Structure 1
Amino acid sequence: MYELFEGVLNSDEKTVLGELIDVLNLSGKRYFLRNEILHTFADCCQQFQKPAYFYHSSSIGKLIHYTHEIILEEECTWFVVRPRIASQEVWLLRADRSFEQMTPQALLDARDRLVNRYQNHILEIDLHPFYEGSPRIDDPRNIGQGLAFLNRYLSNELLADPQYWLELLYLALSKIDYEGIPLLIGDRITSGIQLAKQLKPALQFLSQQPPEEPYEKFCSHLQQLGFEAGWGNTAARVRETLELFERLIYSPQPAILETFVARIPAVFRVVLISVHGWVGQEDVLGRDETFGQVAYVLEQARSLENKLREEIKLAGLDLLGIKPHVIILTRLIPNCEGTFCNLRLEKVQDTENAWILRVPFAEFNPKITNNWISKFEIWPYLETFALDAQTELLAQFKGKPNLIIGNYSDGNLVAFLLSRSLKVTQCNIAHSLEKPKYLFSNLYWQDLEEQYHFSVQFTADLISMNAADFIITSSYQEIVGTPDTIGQYESYKWFTMPQLYHVVDGIDLFSPKFNFVPPGVNENIFFPHSQKSERDAELCRKIHELLFISEDSQIFGRLDNSKKRPIFAIGTFNTVKNLSGLVECFRKNQALQEHCNLIILTSKLHPHEAINPEEAGEIEKLHDIIKQYHLHGKIRWLGMRLSSRDLGEAYRVIADSQGIYVHFARFESFGRSILEAMISGLPTFATQFGGSLEIIKNQEDRFNINPTDLEGTAKKILDFLEECDTHPQYWQEVSEWMTGRIHHRYNWHSHTNQLLLLTKIFSFWNFIAPENNEARDRYMEALFHLLYKPRAKKILKKHLGE
């Protein structure tokens, strides 16, 4: 960036830069983000009558397009530039037009001064030392592909020092057991060298057996050679696995390592943690703020149990009576409003041994802990919950789990506490991080603390994401964003919590712990509308009437012409989900109203049903827009929660009318409803801000919309409708593409395979390099006790009325 700054300041372009800074100063603001900077620069280019190329291709044009933040101080201007994905730099431009690269610490001080909360000495959190010396990814394009990276790294290490790594492989395999029953390697084999030697007679023996010969028929011979159960259920399967191991020893390659590891039976018990989610089944799929998370963990549990059962059978371990055991750990809620959320143990439907285990919060104040608690208020109860849950889990499993998966910020913190205590592999799934969702939430945390308690949550995020053995994300952008936007995890790289602490290096984005493992959808519930034979005719009729005709106290609006093409939207009420923005877009475009009806499905219809002021405000805003602009007869609003089965049919009924689905969020980390709509066959328009950009791919930007550009969004939808009217087959072509995209790319089978592979690889990695994790986890414990707990106690005092 030095050359770029120099090029600007040593040319006539410095005049434009000075004008840009002057214009920003005139606004009265001191902190500017990328969009505002670009718009102001475009105005300056127009004012100076610059040619079209100047905006993009001049030195200042390039500099401004790399700039994500500008902070104005009296004698200087701060630039936060991002020349590459996952790489931010801080530059200071002084009044005399000299410039210098600065440290993150200096920038954080400037941000504190900006809000008049600077203090000279402040705690600095720096996680960089814990990643020094560890293998890391070089190319930003490969961020999120940690599994592939570690496979290559370990294969190269095997080649470089085969003797040493053979002994490590032996030690790792020899420690695999189930309830004290040794698996894979028995005590007759005492070293890596002996293990390698025993492969030849074992393979020679197996080559003489019929391929389909069951393991129990020849197990005694293999045990004499030192090989226990777990290599396979037939002679052919055992032989293939041992051959893979032999090839791994003598000619290691990443593909061989991955295939071999996939066959190793090392995972039998899994905990999925979703603490506050109101976790139930049937019609109890969470509250509005956790609906997607609960559906996710239920489907993940089913898929995991099914995959583990298959692995155990193929490994020949079902003969020993070994069964997978999956537990969804959540909180027990005594005042459960007629649901099963006060039931300690509940079997997950369509599984043999997956369960919801509910553990109550300690009764600091039953008026609080006996009821559902919002994700923003839950923090004081998590430590005791983790202690109580550990006892319950050990009793339920009759042993330790092999994997603990946290969900969302609170679940990830509990996963850290349990993993640390039990010495078990920890996986984090954030789903959505609040810090990047709420603009400037860290900078103004003191003003937001009463409502959101961000100081506790952001500290919990730092602890859990760094303590986790691996992190899975639904999209690449979740980690490092796009060339134009900062990633969710990237936003934790450096930031300030004024008068509390500075994070000068909060996470290594190039760590192989990050892995892109997108979820799937339940294809028994969400499937294409064209699969008529699988649809229930009576359910279809019922949902059609509900969406287009029925009258109910929880339905607002009667359509003047139900034959118009429907625009369908589903969402919760907050400013981020932006349902009011979609209604505003619809009301502003007459052509859209002439072509379409707008059908909205939410869980609430009236302001008095809201659980917080933000939600009530959004509901009132929708009612006001409809009333003020006379949209009656054009909009239908259902304020009710549909079961998953009914929801699946709702997408299909809209598709029967050749409708479309619109996801208008200001930001969406991933977007579960986007998957559901697409696989149902609905052409789907989704926000360009977030993970949906990756879901709707290879469509030349036709279905990515900017929710801040109402006119542009309406034009994209109308262009699509015009194409459908001109070429009747076009809607069907897009529908089939959408369905195929989700079916092949976003499915639970692929997700679970990757998740178990990651568990095994990172468990092995922890085994060979435990000293790195111990130092890191000690640091995380310090943050937990010295920062997190005091902040959480303040929330508890508030709950107790002290």
Structure 2
Amino acid sequence: MSGLIETVLNSEEKIVLWQFIGELRTSDKRYLLRNDIVCAFEDFCKRNGNSQKIDSSPLGQMIHYTQEIILEEESICIVYRPKIARQEVYRLREDTPIEHLSVQQLLDVRDHFVNQFHPDEGDVFEIDFEPFYDYSPTIRDSKNIGKGVRFLNRYMSSKLFQDPRQWLETLFNFLSLHCYNGITLLINGRIKNQHQLSEQVKDAIFFLNQFSDEIPFEDFRYEFQSMGFEPGWGNTAGRVKETLSILDELIDSPDDQVLEAFLSRVPMIFRIVLVSVHGWFGQEGVLGRPDTGGQVVYVLDQARSLEQQLKEDIILAGLDGYGIEPKVIILSRLIHNSDGTRCNQRLEKVHGTDNAWILRVPFRDFNPNMTQNWISRFEIWPYLETYAIDAEKELYAQFHGRPDLIIGNYSDGNLVAFLLARRLDVTQFNIAHALEKSKYLFSNLYWQDLEHLYHFSIQFTADLIAMNAANCIISSTYQEIVGRTDSVGQYESYESFTMPNLYHVVNGIELFSPKFNVVPPGVNENVYFPYTRTDERVPNKREHLEDLLFTLEDPSQVFGKLDNPSKRPIFSMARLDRIKNLTGLAECFGRSPALQECCNLILVAGKLTVNESSDSEEREEIEKLYRIIDEHNLYGKIRWLGVRLPKADSGEIYRVIADRRGVFVQPALFEAFGLTILEAMISGLPTFATQFGGPLEIIQDKVNGFYINPTNLEETADKILEFVTKCDHNPDHWIQLSNKAMERVYSTYTWKIHTSKLLSLSRIYGFWNFISKENREDILRYVESLFYLLFKPRAKELLEQHMHR
């Protein structure tokens, strides 16, 4: 039992606890999450004159660590999280001993809460991945979660030290495999075993000592081949000697840093697939459409940077003279009825690259009314298995062979990445961008009520399949995996949960697996750069956007005429959906006359009328935004732009706001990472961003930006007002924070940093995949069972619904 809970129950605070529980019972809610619990406790303490209990007392601390309270008839069930990635469950009754509950018991409690009037009888199907992670080392300390590669390198180097003969043989076999289109790389048949490899490495280093470091590899290539070495070690004598010296050190005295340094140089990644299936994936005319935006920007920028980094790596490896060219393919779906976009083109070159392409593969025409049109990410599931089969053939044709690495994006792309990686025997990486389970509260608990809209039963099953099959999971932040001391991470939410009447997840993901790595994305510095770099800005574009933002009267593009366009602008740009919460920002602005007095609110939100949108959630938010404007009489104080901006304009629009000393607000109810935050900060805009999700790791509060609680409208308005008031009195205050925001991005969030790390990981996990393949087969078989027994039947049911539309 937790010592803190025991302390409370053995003290006078026990009485206060039950008084608080009694007040909770007077409300309509019977299932409370942490934000509800903390707010209710603060109100309770203030009303009873015990404000000091909020932070300082054992009861206050206990409440701080309580994630859930379920109010049962004669007891309460508490989900208590005293440490990151550690959860305890207790049932409390007055005047009876505390009862510790197992995960299975907690899931039963949740099921009963949902089905109390129609309880489900009999046992429920349980999903448990814990036994299958015995093939992998496990991280012990939660602070090392997300640093999986470091832990994995230590593990592999220790194995190399403990059993050098076996591991040297494995390393030799691994190096012997490398080739590119028939060109042998690294070592040839003259080196026949690990003993010869060790000897020849030392001889090669001695041989290279006669050359100056800058001598090209080609000058000694043939002598090198006679010793058993092929191209790939480096482009100069100095680089080759350095690489071989690292290998020599690895053989003689292995450690984790040497292993990482060596594997990071192995030329094994030339052809990469980035899977992004569901949305309108294009380079023009798609941003702002449903299911696009941040993910499209992310994947396009990543593709450009990966191709550039691969070219640099090939040159350093000495392979640029052998006809070896990197190729990056973004795999998406072809949409026949493309609404004037290029999403109906099979192949499209990525702008600014030599050999990066968007490959669009159509869905099979099970039902042309569906498959020839855009399909929501929530409805896409029935088409993915056959899509993967068709995509495999297309990828073979484009690469003239297999890819070296497949990176999935979002739930559907990760599932397709699993299907392709399994068929092609290729290393699989996952990137979630967002896991809907965290975005929609109680989405698993009430999945049956939401199934007709979101089909979470299929999506959450797909998530479990893909994340457990992946060799490596890339997250943008630490909290994306396991949250913080006061919040549960996105992946952590999959550790255990119930979908009543469908299944229980007892152990859904091993959070302490070394597969998790934090590799934050960058920002496209050609598009997003500081407002102060005036020489790089286009005057005509700047003037056009100033007109659009502040003065243009065009009902087809803009709603709202500003009474005073010179007021400081509060700016936000996002899709109009519930999670992005632009309507919440408008409500916040509407409730603060003081904020309206000194600022205008400028929103770029894609659509102006419900007739323009086919997305039900977007239509609801459009209607809600009009109601808020009317209710708070915001006419003359708000501008709402219903436009899709070209990418270059989306960069300049931040700078135009910065010219007027504005601020950027990202009010999402939850944000997995927040690319718009990086874009605003690198442009020089002081930024206020949600405290729920990834922004907590981008922004350092009150140093280079500000956290806001978007559910607390008064507090959010006060924070913005406090900042702009200080800026009114001291203009340098705005400039100081602007400079710090730009410094933050340049020091931490660039695509160069991202792709260098990502390619290093791909080589290390490629090696780990090679040596652990046999041991991973058990978990992959279990994953396949879930695919065929759970995913496919439910996807088939959804397809049958589609056939009747």
- Quote the Cα distance in structure 2 between the aligned partners of 1:97 and 1:60: 18
1:64 aligned to 2:66? no
Alignment of structure 1 residues 734-749 onto 2, 5 Å: 734-749=737-752
Structure 2 counterpart of 1:15: 15
Moved more, 87-96 or 545-554: 87-96
Moved more, 220-229 or 545-554: 545-554
Query: Distance in 1 between the 2:186 and 2:306 partners?
Result: 22
Contact kept in structure 1, 2:286 and 2:644, CA below 8 Å: no
Q: What letter corresponds to residue 83 of structure 1 in structure 2?
A: P
Task: Describe how 1:403-802 pairs up with structure 2 within 5 A.
Answer: 403-552=405-554, 553-697=556-700, 699=702, 703-801=706-804
Matched ranges for 1:374-393 at <5 A? 374-393=376-395
What one-letter code is carried by the residue in structure 2 that aligns with 1:65? H
Which is further off, 705-714 or 111-120?
111-120
Larger CA deviation: 153-162 vs 300-309: 153-162
Q: Post-superposition shift, 1:47?
A: 5.6
CA deviation after TM superposition for structure 1 residue 43, in Å = 4.2
Q: 1:275 touches 1:329 (CA, 8 Å); kept in 2? A: yes
User: Is 619-628 or 596-605 further displaced after alignment?
Assistant: 619-628
Provide Cα deviations, 1:468-518, integer angstroms capped at 9, x if missing partner.
Answer: 000001111111111111111111010001010000010011111111011
TM (norm. structure 2) is 0.97
Structure-2 change in CA distance of 1:355 and 1:700 (3 Å): closer
Match of 2:100 in 1: 101
Percent of paired sites with the same residue = 59
774 and 293 in structure 1: CA distance in 2 versus 1, 3 angstrom threshold: same
- Tell me which of 311, 314, 322 is aligned to 2:313: 311
Q: Quick check: 1:289 aligned with 2:288?
A: no
Distance 2:648 2:471 in 1: 36
Q: Is the 8 A contact 2:284 2:341 kept in 1?
A: no
- The yes-or-no answer on 1:238 pairing with 2:237 is no
Q: Distance in 2 between matches of 1:286 and 1:701?
A: 28
1:662/1:686 contact within 8 Å kept? yes
Match of 2:126 among 124, 127, 130: 124
Answer whether contact 2:347 2:360 (CA < 8 A) is retained: yes
Q: Which moved more, 1:781-790 or 1:133-142?
A: 133-142
Secondary structure of 2:264's counterpart equals helix
- C-alpha contact (below 8 Å) 2:307/2:353 kept by paired residues: yes
Instruction: Give the counterpart letter for 1:17 in structure 2.
Output: L
Q: Is the 8 A contact 1:280 1:286 kept in 2?
A: no
Distance 1:16 1:566, change over 3 A: same
Trace 1:98-497 onto structure 2 (pairs within 5 A).
98-116=97-115, 117-132=119-134, 134-285=136-287, 287-497=289-499
- Give how far 1:688 is off: 0.7
Structure 1 residues without counterparts, runs of 5 or longer: none
Offset at residue 746 of structure 1 (A): 0.7
Q: Tell me the distance in 2 between the aligned counterparts of 1:571 and 1:775.
A: 43
Query: Structure 1: how far apart are the matches of 2:226 and 2:327?
Result: 31
Q: Which residue identity is paired with 1:32? A: L
C-alpha separation in 1, matches of 2:686 and 2:63: 36
Under a length normalisation based on structure 1, what TM-score does the superposition of the two structures give?
0.98
Number of equivalences: 801
SS of the residue corresponding to residue 318 of structure 1 reads: coil
1:119 aligns to what SS in structure 2? coil
Distance 1:618 1:637 in 2: 13
Aligned 8 A contact 1:380 1:793 in 2 = yes
Residue deviations 1:225-244 (CA, integer Å, cap 9, x gap) = 11111001111111111111
Checking the alignment, whether the CA contact within 8 Å between 1:277 and 1:291 is kept in structure 2 is no
User: What is the SS of the residue equivalent to 2:441?
Assistant: coil
CA contact (8 A) 2:271 2:326 kept: yes
Q: Is the 8 A contact 1:286 1:294 kept in 2?
A: no
One-letter code aligned to 1:759: S
How far, CA to CA, are the matches of 1:698 and 1:149 in structure 2? 30
- In structure 2, relative to structure 1, the CA distance for the partners of 1:409 and 1:653 (3 Å cut) is same
**How much does 1:180 deviate?**
3.0
SS at match of 1:288: coil
Mean Cα deviation higher: 87-96 or 349-358: 87-96
**Equivalent position SS for 1:141:** helix
Bigger drift between 96-105 and 634-643 goes to 96-105
Tell me, in whole angstroms, the C-alpha distance in 2 between the residues paired with 1:482 and 1:700: 20
Contact in 2 for aligned 1:277/1:286 (Cα 8 Å): no
**What's the CA shift for 1:419?**
0.5
Deviates more, 1:425-434 or 1:258-267: 258-267
**Residues 537-561 of structure 1: per-residue CA shift (max 9 Å, x gap):** 1111111111112121220111111
Which whole-Å CA distance do the structure 2 matches of 1:151 and 1:348 have between them? 35
Offset from partner CA, 1:135-172 (integer Å, 9 cap, x none): 11111111111112112222333333333322221111
69-78 or 680-689: bigger deviation: 69-78
Letter in 2 for 1:100: E
For residues 119-149 of structure 1, the C-alpha deviation after alignment (integer angstroms, 9 at most, x for no partner) is 3211000000111352111111111111121
Would you say the 8 A contact 2:703–2:740 is kept in 1? no
Amino acid in structure 2 at the alignment position of 1:70: I
Maintained 8 Å contact 1:679/1:743: yes
- Determine if contact 2:704/2:741 at 8 Å carries over to the other structure: no
| Uncovered stretches (5+) of structure 2, i.e. residues with no partner | none
Deviation at 1:613, TM superposition (A): 3.0
- Counterpart CA distance in 2 for 1:524 and 1:337 is 28
Q: Decide whether the 8 Å contact of 2:705 with 2:737 is kept in 1.
A: no
Any idea what the Cα deviations from partners look like across 1:20-63, whole Å, max 9, x if unmatched? Answer: 2222223243211112222333344456544x543333332222
CA shift digits 1:554-613 (9 cap, x unpaired): 201111111111111111112211111111111111221111111111110112222233
Inter-partner Cα distance in structure 2 for 1:716 and 1:24: 30
Pair 28,716 (structure 1): closer, same or farther in 2 beyond 3 Å: closer
CA RMSD, 1 decimal: 1.6
Deviation at 1:101, TM superposition (A): 1.6
**Residue pair 2:170, 2:771 contacting (<8 A) in 1 also:** yes
- Post-superposition offset of 1:620: 1.4
> What is the distance in 2 between the residues matched to 1:639 and 1:119?
51
